Chains A and B, each alone.
Chain A
Amino acid sequence: MQLTDRKKVVVKKEMSLMEKLYIPAITQGMTITLKHFFKKGATVRYPEVKREIAETYRGQHVLKRDEQGAERCTACGLCAVACPAEAITMESAERRKGEENLYREEKYASIYEINMLRCIFCGLCEEACPKEAIFLTDRIVPVSGNRKDMIYGKDKLVEDINHPIDLSYRQTKAVAEFKKDKTKAHNQTWKDKQNLIKEKSH
C-alpha cells in the first residue's frame, strides 16, 4: 500500500566530474551553515524569559477549596480510576464534628498523593471530578533530584487558604453561569445547605 507520494528511488549512478570534485557541494553546505550563523536562534532563555503558554495549559494540579475555605474533595476515587497513568492514590476518612469548616462533605481525603513522575498531565482527573475539587493549573512542576520529592501530597496539592488560585479564566462562559446557580446542590457549600434546611423548616 502506498502511503505517500514522496518516495524516492535510490539510483547509484556514476558521478560527473563536477560532482567528484566535491567543492561545489562543500561550498553549498558552507553557505547553508553561514546562513544559519546569522539567523536568530529559537532558544527561550528559560528562567529569565518564560515561553507563552496556552490558557488551558495543563500543569501542576491543585485541590480546590470552596468559598468558605473547606476542601471540596470527598475522596470518591473517580480521579484515581480515570487516571490512565495510575498516578493518583488516596485514603478517605470520615468528617468529625467541628470539622465542618475544613471539609465540605461528610467524607474527605486524609491522604491524597499524585506521583508527578507518573502523571502525564492528560487532565482526565479534572474531567472525572464530580466535586470540582481537582484542577490542572498553568504552574510548571519543578524538577527534583529525588524520587520521593516528586510524590506530591496534600501539603503541596491543596491550595493555600489565604491565596486561592483563580481558575475562572480557564472556564467557559456556560460553566461560570452554572456556578452562580445556588439552587444546584453541586454549588452549595455546607453553610448554604444549612441555610436551605432552615428556610424549609420555617
Chain B
Amino acid sequence: MLIFIIYKTILVLLVFLISLGIAAYSTYAERKVAAFMQDRIGPDRAGPFGILQPIADGVKMFMKEEIIPTVSSKFLFILGPSLAMLTALMSGVVIPWGGHLTFGGQTFPLQITDINIGMLYVFAVVSFGVYGIMIGGWASNNKYSLLGALRASSQMISYEIAMGLALVALIMKTGTLSLGQIVAQQGDGLWNIFYQPLGFLIFLICAFAETNRAPFDLPECETELVGGYHTEYSSMKLGFYLFAEYINMFVSSAIISSLYFGGFNIPFQSHFGFDGNLLSLLQVVFFFGKIFFFIFFYMWIRWTIPRFRYDQLMFLGWRILIPLSILNILVTGVIMMRHEIFYYLSNIF
C-alpha cells in the first residue's frame, strides 16, 4: 500500500512537471516555428539557439508589476487564472502514457488512474475550463475582457456539442469510455483514425476551438479586443493564462493521439520481441513523439490559416460540424449493424 502511494505520488509529480516543462518549451517552439515559417530565425540570444528563452520569459513574468484593478472583485480576479491552470492540469490524469513497468514482481501502470468514465471525465474538465476565462474576463471590469469572455463561453459551448457527438461515434466503435481500454484496443489492430476519419476531423477542429487556438482564437483576438479576457492581467497571472493554453494544447494532443492514433502503441510492436520494461519505455518515447507532432500541427495551423470571423465560427460549428457529426453517428451505426440490416432486408424481399 505504501509503495502504491509513493509510486502514484511520483507519477503525479512527473506528469505535472512534464506538463509544465512541455508547456514552457511550447512557447519557445511556437516562436521558432512561427519564425521558420516566415523565413526568420526566432529567439536565439538566450543560450545556444535561444534554448534558455522560456526561463528568461518566466523570470520576466515573475518580475513584472502585479496590477489588480481596484474596481474589480479581487478574489474572482485571482480565481480566474487559477481555475484556468487547474482545469488545464487536471485532464492529464486519465491519459495512459505507456504500458506497465515491472519491478520486483510488482507491476506499475504508467497511467495515474484508469477510471471507467475516462473520456467523460476529460470532457467534464474541458467544459469546466471555460469558467477560468469567464470569471477572469468578468472580474477585470473591462468591456474588452468581458467581450472576450463571452466569446470564449459561446464558442466553447457550441463546439462541445460537435466534439461530444464525434466522440459518441468513436465510443460506439470502441464500446468503452476508458482511455486505457481504448488505447489497448488499438494495440494490435488498426488505429481508430482508419475507422473514424470524419470523426477525427470533427474532433480535431473542435479541439482547436476548445483550446482557443488559431484559427479559433477569437476570445483573445488582439485586432478587435486588445487582448480579450486577459487584457487587464499582468505578471504571473497573465503567465498562468498563457501557460494554461499551452498545457491544454499538450493534453489535447495527448488525447487526440490516444483516441485516434493508437496512443502509446508502436506499430507492429509485438514483432520486435522487446521485453516488458524496455518496450514500455519505448512506448512512452513513441507516445511523446506523437504528441510533439500534434503540438507542431497546432502551430503549423496557427501560422497558416487566418482567424475566422465570428459569424463564420458559429456557422461552422452549428450548421456544418453538428449535422456532419450526427451523420457520422448514423453511418457508424449502420456499418456496425450491417449484418442485422442485411438479415432483415433479406427476410423482407
Contacts and interface: CB of A to CB of B under 8 A. Distances in A.
B294 interface: no
A30 B36 contact: no
A36 B301 contact: no
Contacts of A197: none
Contact of B301 (A30, A40, A43): A30
A41 B304 contact: no
A30 B35 contact: no
A77 B206 CA distance: 71
A196 B44 CA distance: 63
Contact of B39 (A26, A29, A36): A36
Instruction: Give the one of B33, B37, B300, B305 with max A CB within 10 A.
Output: B37
A33 interface: yes
Contacts of A42: 39
Contact of A37 (B36, B44, B301): B36
A45 B41 contact: yes
Given A26-B305, A29-B304, A30-B304, A37 B37 contact: yes
Nearest to B38: A36
Contacts of A43: 39-41
A42 B39 CA distance: 7
Contact of B300 (A33, A41, A45): A33
Nearest to B44: A45
A41 B39 contact: yes
Contacts of B37: 33-34, 36-37
Contacts of A39: 39
Interface residues of A, number: 15
Contact of B33 (A26, A37, A40): A37
Contacts of A37: 33, 36-37
B304 A33 contact: yes
B25 interface: no
> Is chain B's interface secondary structure helix, strand, loop, or mixed overall?
loop
A41 B41 contact: yes
Interface in B20-37: 33, 35-37
Contact of A41 (B33, B36, B301, B305): B36
Contacts of B40: 41, 43
A29 B305 contact: yes
Contact of A36 (B36, B44, B305): B36
Nearest to A26: B305
A30 B305 CA distance: 8
Contacts of B305: 26, 29
A141 B303 CA distance: 36
A40 to B, nearest CB: 8
Nearest to B37: A33
B321 to A, nearest CB: 13
A183 B285 CA distance: 84
A30 B300 contact: yes
Interface in A30-52: 30, 32-34, 36-43, 45
A32 B35 CA distance: 14
Contacts of B33: 37
A26 B300 CA distance: 11
Contacts of B38: 36
Contacts of B304: 26, 29-30, 32-33
Nearest to A43: B41
Contact of A33 (B35, B41, B44, B303): B303
Nearest to A20: B320
Instruction: Give the one of A33, A36, A37, A41 with max B CB within 10 A.
Output: A33
Contacts of B39: 36, 39-43
Contacts of A26: 304-305
A39 B300 CA distance: 15
B141 to A, nearest CB: 36
B173 to A, nearest CB: 23
Nearest to A32: B304
A34 B41 contact: no
A172 B43 CA distance: 44
Interface string B33-65: 101111111001000000000000000000000
Nearest to A40: B39
A124 to B, nearest CB: 36
A29 B40 CA distance: 18
A34 B40 CA distance: 14
Contacts of B35: 41
Contacts of A34: 37, 300
Contacts of B44: 45
B295 to A, nearest CB: 14
Given A30-B301, A41-B41, 14 more contacts: A26-B304, A30-B300, A33-B300, A36-B37, A36-B38, A36-B39, A37-B33, A37-B36, A37-B37, A38-B36, A41-B39, A42-B39, A43-B40, A45-B41
6 contacts: A29-B304, A29-B305, A33-B37, A40-B39, A43-B41, A45-B44
The 10 closest A-B pairs by CB, nearest first: A33-B304, A41-B39, A33-B37, A43-B41, A37-B36, A29-B304, A30-B304, A36-B37, A37-B37, A41-B40
Interface of A: 26, 29-30, 32-34, 36-43, 45
